[in-house]
Each structure stands twice: as structure tokens, then as C-alpha cells.
């Protein structure tokens, strides 16, 4: 399967990078690269993530990486990364909801 990052997810990743870069460019690049690579497992195992039971429809799953929730779904023979959200954030507060966006 192909892993596709939506515009929103890419923007989330950039915002995380910018936030960390205010302290260290090196660690910002390193962290974002590791987070991005953590989704590679979805190519072979798209069902590996947990269903996001608290709010989203059942087809929305998540991987976690160092306190961040990587929200995704499988559609049209590809994995769509929908958003990257800090683990302490309430999904109900997301506007628009990434799974309703497309």
C-alpha cells in the first residue's frame, strides 16, 4: 500500500517542526524525520493502529509516536495520514475534523 500524507497532516508536521526548531533545528529535523518514518509500517500492516474509539468513525485508526497521535484511514488501496495531533489534545476540539475534510 501507498502511504499518502494529506495537506493537513503535512501542515501539522511542519508546525511541530517549527515549534521544536525554536529550541533546536537539529532536534526538530530529527524528531520530524523519525515521526514521518514511523508511518512506514503502514505500507505492509495498515490495520496495525488502534481504532480511535473516543470520537471518530471506526475506519479512523491511530499510531502513536512520542506523545503524538497520527490519525489515518485506509481508502482506495492507500493509507491516508489525516492529522498529527498532540496526545493531550481533545479530538472533539479539532475544527474541521480531519476525517470529515475529504
pLDDT class of 87 with cuts at 50, 70, 90: confident
pLDDT of 55: 65
Whichever domain contains 97, its CATH number is 3.30.2310.20
Helix (H) or strand (E) holding 31: helix 25-38
Query: For the chain, how many structural domains are there in total?
Result: 1
Q: State whether residue 12 is helix, strand or coil.
A: helix
For residues 40 and 1, what is the distance between their CA atoms, to the nearest angstrom? 10
**pTM assigned to the model:** 0.87
Other residues' Cβ atoms within 10 Å of the Cβ of residue 78: 14
Q: With 80 as the cut, is the pLDDT of residue 50 above it?
A: yes
Average pLDDT, the chain: 89
Q: Do 79 and 2 meet the contact criterion of CB atoms below 8 Å apart?
A: yes
Q: With 80 as the cut, is the pLDDT of residue 53 above it?
A: no
Domain that holds residue 49: 2-101
Q: Do 81 and 71 meet the contact criterion of CB atoms below 8 Å apart?
A: yes
pLDDT class of 39 with cuts at 50, 70, 90: very high
Q: With 70 as the cut, is the pLDDT of residue 19 above it?
A: yes
Amino acid at each position: 500500500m501507498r502511504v499518502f500524507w494529506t495537506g493537513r497532516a503535512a501542515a501539522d508536521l511542519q508546525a511541530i517542526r517549527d515549534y521544536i526548531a525554536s529550541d533546536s533545528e537539529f532536534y526538530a529535523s530529527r524528531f520530524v524525520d523519525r515521526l514521518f518514518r514511523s508511518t512506514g509500517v503502514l505500507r505492509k500492516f495498515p490495520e496495525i493502529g488502534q481504532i480511535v474509539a473516543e470520537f471518530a468513525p471506526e475506519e479512523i485508526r491511530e499510531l502513536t509516536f512520542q506523545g503524538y497521535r497520527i490519525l489515518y484511514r485506509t481508502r482506495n488501496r492507500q493509507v491516508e495520514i489525516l492529522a498529527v495531533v498532540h496526545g493531550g489534545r481533545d479530538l472533539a476540539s479539532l475544527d474541521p475534523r480531519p476525517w470529515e475534510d475529504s
